[in-house]
Amino acid sequence: MAESAIEITDLRKSFDDGKTFVLKGVDLTIPKGKLTVIIGYSGTGKSVLLKHILGLLHPTSGSLKVLGKELWDMKESELMEMRKRLGVLFQYAALFDDMTALENVCFPLREHRRQWDPDKIIDVATKKLESSGLGSEHFHKLPSELSGGMRKRVGLARALALDPEIILYDEPTTGLDPVLTEMVDDLIQSTHKRIPGSTSIIVTHDLFAAFRIGEHMVMLDKGKVLLSGTPEDFRNSDLELVQKFIAKGFKKE
């Protein structure tokens, strides 16, 4: 198999000192350079898994390698460096609500490109916003003045500000209308294609999108990986739960 971006072995997570486990031994390899979709019913631990990859949550046990390095063997400073190689679009974009769209994108640049002069930072931020498709008339608006779709675009531009190698999306289309859903899916796909060698990981329960844009798919159920493979593997799977999920997913559309 090709090189992997993320390697997870027997990852377990309990929030209550081992009484119950949210992740019950996840084994998962996410290939480098591909667009991977992680699907599963809500409440199965998809977001918790994502937060582990980001180093926001500490596993109870197990191993988690990001870009070849064991995440929790790192010192805090190395972890911070590693995080710069990841970009995240949060479900509700998580924009800083006291900063304009442009300032939001400038923020990570100001923090980590201290040697750049201010004009260059604004230049780069502007380019990032433009390629995420935000009209320049919205650059100086606060997040509260932007629509949901625009906020996603700003969030994406901010996630891409530091040119990350892995881009993660948590439920990018949940709660959006069908038109907007398609727009965001396209945006994710075109972003993935635009940045050569980038790895994209999308967490969603939108099966339609998973088949439309996914190159690799992972299904999570009750804290474990049920199936991991190509979309073709999923269609041909005879696992009952996978078929049920697929049937349900398509009936809804």
Ligand X SMILES: Nc1ncnc2c1ncn2[C@@H]1O[C@H](COP(=O)(O)OP(=O)(O)O)[C@@H](O)[C@H]1O
Parallel, antiparallel, or unpaired for β 4-13 and 23-31?
A: antiparallel
Question: Both tokens of residue 166?
Answer: 């892995």
CB 214 within 8 A of CB 231: yes
Q: Is 173 an interacting residue with respect to ligand X (CB under 6 A)? A: no
Which CB sits closer to Mg ion, 103 or 171? 171
**Crossing angle for the helix pair 101-112 and 148-159, nearest 10 degrees?**
10
Please give the residues from 29 up to 68 whose contact with ligand X meets the rule CB under 6 A: 40, 42-48
CB 99 within 8 A of CB 144: no
Sketch the per residue contact string, 123 through 162, with another protein: x for CB under 8 A, - otherwise.
-----------------------------------x---x
Helices (DSSP H) in the chain: which residue ranges? 46-53, 76-84, 101-112, 118-131, 148-159, 178-194, 207-213, 231-236, 240-252
Which CB sits closer to ligand X, 48 or 122? 48
CA-CA distance, 231 to 180, in Å (whole number)?
Answer: 23
Q: Is 126 an interacting residue with respect to ligand X (CB under 6 A)? A: no
Q: Please choose which of Mg ion, ligand X, another protein, none residue 22 contacts, taking the beta carbon within 5 to 8 angstroms, the exact cut-off set by kind.
A: ligand X
Per CB under 8 A, the list member of 86, 106, 176, 188 interacting with another protein is 86
CA-CA distance, 74 to 68, in Å (whole number)?
Answer: 12
Q: Is 56 an interacting residue with respect to another protein (CB under 8 A)? A: yes
Q: Please choose which of Mg ion, another protein, ligand X, none residue 26 contacts, taking the beta carbon within 5 to 8 angstroms, the exact cut-off set by kind.
A: none
Per CB under 8 A, the list member of 54, 142, 180, 227 interacting with another protein is 54
Which CB sits closer to another protein, 56 or 247? 56
The SS3 assignment for 238 reads: coil
Question: Which residues of this chain interact with another protein, rule CB under 8 A?
Answer: 51, 54, 56, 80-84, 86-88, 90-92, 94-97, 107-108, 111-112, 114, 158, 162
